[in-house]
Amino acid sequence: MNGRYRKPTQSWKETEIDRLIQLTKKRSRFQMRMKLSVWEWTVGLAKFLKAFLDVFISLVLLIVFFPLFIITGLIIYLSDPGPVFYVAPRVGLNGKPFGFIKFRSMFVNADKMKDNLIEMNESADGVIFKMKNDPRVTRIGRFIRRFSIDELPQLINVLKGDMSLVGPRPPLPREVMEYTLDDRKRLHVKPGITCLWQIKGRSEIPFHEQVELDMQYISSQSVWKDILILLKTIPAVISGKGAY
């Protein structure tokens, strides 16, 4: 013995335990990578299917409703000469603004009249502006609003990528200014032509309940749920409930 300290060598059992620990760690990392890859693939597939359905269905509907576009445009112009379409600034995915296209359902000077009607807002929450008998709406405007014909041009927004067929309705910039942090979560997904509250009562549903339904959709959205909402939109449009 030279008096120097020698580190004791590991026993066979300690070496085997270390080997098993390292093997377990490698397996855990591999399983985590596999789970992450499957999740990313699933999310990517869902986004692709949603985008594909948006483009395919929008194209089909634009072709089918093309004669209706022509007839509606002519009636709007003849009843109140001016632009057939109304393009309004709206807030889309992640707060990005875009031009929201609708058939014009109001008189040409409707925007100037709005300031005089603010006190007559029938929305209980005060964030959005709603009036059942809005004097700015033309006679043909009431009809196309009742059956959501004024919303059909938004199919062009879907093709442009600004909107989806299903998703929270896009808000006005001034409405977003009044949003709470929870309300702003609606902007984390692409806005849509129809949504849960559109098939459950539309304008008759208070704003805070609209937000709750939108958040419910966002937390559980899927391609199949989108298809179901689209199918339920048909009877909702035909009934005209809550449309004004």
What is the structure's pLDDT at 174?
Answer: 86
Cβ 167 vs Cβ 195: under 8 Å: yes
pLDDT at 205: 81
| pLDDT tens series, the chain, 244 aa | 455 555 555 565 566 666 666 666 667 776 667 766 766 677 677 788 999 999 999 999 999 999 999 999 999 999 999 999 999 999 999 999 999 999 999 888 776 666 665 555 555 555 566 666 777 889 999 999 988 999 999 999 999 999 999 999 999 898 888 888 888 888 999 999 999 888 887 777 888 888 888 999 988 888 889 999 999 998 888 876 766 5
Q: How many CB atoms lie within 10 A of CB 38?
A: 10
Amino acid (1-letter code) at residue 189:
V
pLDDT of residue 62: 96
To which H or E segment does residue 109 belong? none
Predicted confidence at residue 76, as pLDDT, reads 95
pTM, whole model, 2 decimals? 0.77
Strands 97-103 and 85-91, sheet pairing? antiparallel
With CA atoms as reference, report the closest residue to 101 among 148, 166, 152, 63.
Answer: 152
> Which pLDDT score is estimated for 101?
96
Q: What is the pLDDT of residue 30?
A: 64
Q: How far apart are CA 60 and CA 79, in angstroms?
A: 29
What residues does each domain of the chain span?
49-239
- Give the CA distances from residue 9 to residues 18, 28, 160, in Å, rounded to whole numbers and listed in that order: 14, 29, 70
pLDDT of 228 reads 93
Q: Is the Cα dihedral 127, 132, 135, 138 positive or negative?
A: positive
What is the C-alpha separation between 90 and 97, in angstroms, rounded? 6
The structure tokens 């992640």 sit at 94
**Predicted pLDDT of residue 13:** 59
Closest CA to 215 of 197, 193, 236, 234: 197
Contact 194, 233 (CB under 8 A): yes
